[in-house]
Amino acid sequence: MMLRLLAIVIVLTCMNGFTAAQDKQYVEEFTQYTFYLSEVMLHDVVNPPAASRFYAYAMLGAYEAIYAADNLQVDIAKNFRINPGFRFNVLPAHYSRSFCAIYAMLDVGRQMIPSGYSLEERELELVKLYRKKHKLSETDIEENIAFAKNVADQVTAFAKMDGYLKLSTWQRYNPNTREEGHWYPTPPEYMSAVEPQWKTIRPFFLDSASQFPPRPPVPFDKGKESGFYKLMQEVHVTSNTLTTEQRSIAAFWDCNPFAVTYSGHMAMGIKKISPGGHWIGITGIACRKAKAPLDKTVFAHVLVALTLCDGFISCWNEKYTSDRIRPEAAINKYMDPSWRPLLQTPPFPEYTSGHSVISTASAEVLTHLFGDNFGFTDTSEEYFGLPARTFVSFRQAASEAAISRLYGGIHFRDAIEAGQEQGRAIGKYIIIRLDSGITKGQ
C-alpha cells in the first residue's frame, strides 16, 4: 500500500506541473502555518485531548481542500465510522492547492479554537504571500478563498456533531473518595479532572471509545508484598537515581500544558506544547527530510492528527474507567510523604499513559508512510529552550516518549506498557481501514 501511495503522489505532482523546488516551498509554507495552530493552542492552554481534536479537524480541512481536486487521492472520509458526505463547490478557474489547503486549515482553526480569531491575521498574511510571491491575481485569490471557506465550513459543521458541544452539560465529575486507590487532585494546583467525559466524543475511525480496551491495571493493594506496592517502589527508586540523560528525556517529552512553578508566593504558568502538538511537529520534520511533495505532506499530517484524536478518545475512556491513583498521591500516602516527582503530575487519572498511547499510535502511522528505519532529529522542543534529540526510527522516539513518564514520576510501568499496546493496536487498525479502499474510484 505504501509504495502504491507514493506512486500516486508522484503522478499527482507531475500532473499539477509542480517543480521540485516549488513543491519544497509549498511544504515549508504548510508546515510553518501548521505551527501557527500550535501557537494559538499554546496561548489558550488547550488540554491534550481537545488539542488533538482541533488538529484533527484543521488538518482534515487542509486535506479535503486538496482531495476535492484530485481523482487519485486517498478518500479518508469514506473510511470514517460516519461518512460526513462532503460536497464542495466547483474548483476555482485557477485553483491553488497549496493556498486552499493552508487557508482551509487556518479557517477551521479560526472557527473552532477559543482564540482562533487571531488566525485571521495569518489568513491575511497568507493572502499577501500568495499575491506577492506566487503571483495570484485578486480574482484568483477571491475564488480560492471562497472555495477554501466552503471546505472549512463543511468540516466545522461535521465537527459540531461529534459531541464536543455537549461536554459542559454532563454532571460535574467528583473524585471517588469512598474507596482507596482512585484518582484525586495532586499538588501544586490540585486541579479538577480534565475531560472526564471525553469518551463521548465521536471517533473518526474507531467503532467506539471502548474498541481497544487495554489489559487491566495491576490491582490496587497497599500491602508491601503486593504488585502495586512494587510499582510504587519502582517509581520512587527510579526518581531518586535519575541520570542526567533520563532527566533530559523526561523534560523533552513532558508536553504538559498545565505546568505551574512557584517563586516565593508567585505562581507562574509554564506553557508547553501538547503531546499531540509534539507529534504534529515530528510529522512536519519527517515530511521535510523525506522531501515529500505537498500531497503526501498534507496526507501525513491529517492521518497523524486523526490518529491522535482517536488515540486520546480510547485512552481517556480507560482513564475514567479504571480511575487509578497517580504515583505522587499513592507514594505520598503509603510510602514517602515528602516525595515529589520530577515532572508535575497532570490532572487526570493514571491508567493508561496518554503519551504512551498516542506516541505509539502515531509512530505506527508514520512508520507505515516513511519506513521503519527513518532516522530524524526532533527539533520540536527547541521553541521551548530544549535541545533537539535524534532517533533512528519513529518507534524509537515513541518508546522514549513512553518511558519518559516513568522517569518523570507521573506513571507506573504497567500504564506505560499497556498504553503502548493500546496505541499500537489503534495505529495498526487505522492503517488497515485505509488499506481497504485507497482511491476515489474504488
Q: What is the pLDDT of residue 260?
A: 53
Domains of the chain, start order:
2-165 (1.10.606.20), 221-435 (1.10.606.20)
What per-residue string of b and e applies to 206-234 under the rule 16 or more CB within 10 Å gives b?
beebebbbbeebbebeeeeeeebbebbee
The amino acid present at 176, given as its one-letter code, is N
Q: Retrieve residue 310's grid coordinates.
A: 482517536
pTM here? 0.93
Give pLDDT tens digits for 387-420: 999 999 999 999 999 999 999 999 999 999 999 9
Whether pLDDT at 282 is above 70: yes
Instruction: Answer whether 278's CB lies under 8 Å from 381's CB.
Output: yes
Per the CB < 8 A criterion, the answer to whether 411 and 345 are in contact is no
Using pLDDT thresholds of 50, 70 and 90, give the confidence band for residue 300: very high
Q: How far apart, in whole angstroms, are the C-alpha atoms of residue 302 and residue 307?
A: 8
Sole residue written with cell 491575481: 137
Query: Within a 10 A sphere around the Cβ of 166, how many other Cβ atoms?
Result: 11
pLDDT digits (tens, 9 = 90+) for 341-379: 999 999 999 999 999 999 999 999 999 999 999 999 999
**260 — phi, psi (to 5°)?**
-135, 135
